[in-house]
């Protein structure tokens, strides 16, 4: 997708385009996004927060005194803008602005879904605590097929509303969205960091669904977004109750999103990052952070969600997020691997396949590769800006498969 704003900061532009994409399901309005972006200075995290917070505060105040349908729409967009406001602040986990904006994002989302039929917050038992999410109940009698959805490295369960949860509901699927460890509600409420053995997360979610007699236990699918395109296949490799898995988009080795910024071989980076001390690597990381907005953001956010103190520790932890060593080959259920032709993180280069194609190549289960292109306006990471197109193709595949 052509970079229309923030020409000197690809990360600010992508997050803006991501917001524009949420307009498909009511999560943003084009004019609001453009007007807010115009008040932001490239690379200035405080400026980003101030602008999005102001838009969210204005909208939520209007929604609080509006008639029901207007309130629903206003709260839904305000929720998105609050979430966006605190997105770049995680380099300092103690920043009080994080909890404020995150809390308001959830409050506004709850206020919005109160005006939708069949959508409710849920808590899923998990290792002595709960995973928070949302149930989208399809109309009509059961037993029904179900879709479990989770986000990735930085997205939330609330955001999955704009990645197709209501689209599944209206097609007859009971949809369950949730935040796992490392994802917003789990890291905010319970300080649960990410874990690579995602089957340990999905297992309790499947337990929760199969306890409901309205759900057909033989027709439960799993969909993961962004880094979830590695986590969901990882879970499917070890969770036999899944009838299908969707990777939006496919990821075989997550570390490849960051190694190009450091000019270090992936295996060497993993080894050196895990060392007790490597001052040369620390200098390389510091210089690359300054030069590349995406790496700067990824390291700040990565320390926060992985529960580590340094950028090098984050890179060591992140190197464990892969489907190598025969994991991809263990999957037995049908797999839909989505690919974005111009993915900011996982498109590969002329010398290497994209991450979706690497995953596809290693699968031995029934598999489908679905590529989204520039001509379709769908080539951005996770097809931001073409949500309706992506949702249609994904659920048509699920209808044929599940």
Contacts of 398 (CB under 8 A, 6+ apart): 145, 147, 173, 221, 244, 246, 336
Edge-to-edge, what's the strand order for the sheet holding 119-126? 119-126, 129-136, 174-178, 144-150, 215-225, 244-248, 335-340, 367-372
C-alpha angle 319-323-329 in degrees, rounded to nearest 5: 160
| Catalytic residue chosen out of the listed positions 226, 319, 354, 384 | 226
Backbone angles phi, psi at 126, to 5 degrees: -155, 110
The one-character DSSP state at 183 is S
Helices (H) and strands (E) in the chain, counts: 17, 8
Active site residue 319: no
C-alpha angle 50-29-183 in degrees, rounded to nearest 5: 60
Alpha-helix residue ranges (DSSP H) falling in 87-245: 96-113, 165-170, 184-190, 199-210, 228-238
Residue 272 contacts residue 264 (beta carbons within 8 Å): yes
C-alpha angle 19-322-344 in degrees, rounded to nearest 5: 30
Q: How many CB atoms within 10 Å of residue 117?
A: 9
Contacts of 375 (CB under 8 A, 6+ apart): none
Distances (CA, A) of 41 to 12, 37, 50: 10, 8, 11
Q: Cα dihedral sign for 285, 289, 295, 296?
A: positive
Task: Say how far apart CA 308 and CA 194 lie, in whole Å.
Answer: 11
Q: Report, as residue numbers or ranges, the catalytic residues.
A: 226
């Amino acid at each position: 997708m052509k970079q229309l704003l923030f020409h000197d900061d690809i990360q600010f532009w992508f997050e803006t385009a991501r917001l524009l994409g949420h307009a498909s399901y009511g999560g943003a309005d084009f004019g609001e996004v453009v007007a807010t972006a115009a008040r932001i200075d490239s690379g200035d995290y405080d400026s980003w927060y101030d602008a999005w917070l102001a838009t969210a505060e204005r909208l939520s105040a209007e929604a609080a005194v509006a008639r029901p349908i207007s309130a629903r729409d206003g709260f839904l967009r305000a929720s998105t803008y609050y979430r966006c406001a605190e997105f770049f602040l995680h380099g300092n986990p103690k920043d009080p602005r994080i909890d404020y904006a995150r809390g308001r994002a959830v409050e506004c989302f709850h206020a919005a879904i109160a005006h939708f039929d069949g959508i409710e917050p849920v808590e899923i038992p998990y290792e002595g605590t709960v995973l928070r999410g949302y149930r989208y109940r399809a109309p009509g009698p059961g037993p029904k097929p179900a879709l479990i959805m989770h986000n990735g490295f930085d997205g939330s369960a609330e955001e999955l509303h704009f990645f197709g949860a209501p689209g599944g509901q209206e097609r007859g699927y009971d949809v369950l969205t949730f935040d796992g460890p490392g994802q917003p509600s789990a890291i905010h409420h319970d300080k649960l960091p990410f874990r690579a053995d995602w089957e340990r997360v999905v297992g309790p979610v499947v337990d929760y669904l199969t306890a409901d007699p309205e759900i057909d236990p033989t027709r439960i699918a799993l969909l993961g977004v962004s880094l979830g395109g590695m986590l969901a296949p990882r879970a499917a490799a070890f969770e036999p109750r899944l009838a299908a898995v969707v990777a939006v988009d496919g990821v075989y080795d997550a570390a490849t999103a960051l190694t190009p910024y450091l000019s270090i071989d992936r295996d060497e980076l993993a080894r050196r990052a895990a060392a007790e001390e490597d001052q040369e690597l620390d200098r390389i990381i510091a210089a690359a952070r300054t030069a590349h907005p995406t790496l700067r953001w990824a390291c700040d956010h990565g320390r926060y969600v992985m529960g580590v103190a340094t950028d090098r520790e984050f890179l060591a932890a992140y190197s464990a997020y892969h489907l190598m060593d025969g994991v991809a080959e263990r999957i037995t259920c049908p797999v839909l691997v989505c690919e974005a032709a111009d993915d900011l993180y996982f498109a590969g280069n002329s010398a290497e396949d994209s991450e979706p194609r690497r995953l596809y190549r290693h699968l031995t289960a029934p598999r489908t590769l679905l590529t989204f292109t520039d001509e379709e306006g769908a080539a951005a990471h996770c097809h931001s800006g073409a949500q309706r197109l992506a949702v249609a193709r994904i659920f048509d595949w699920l209808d044929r498969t599940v």
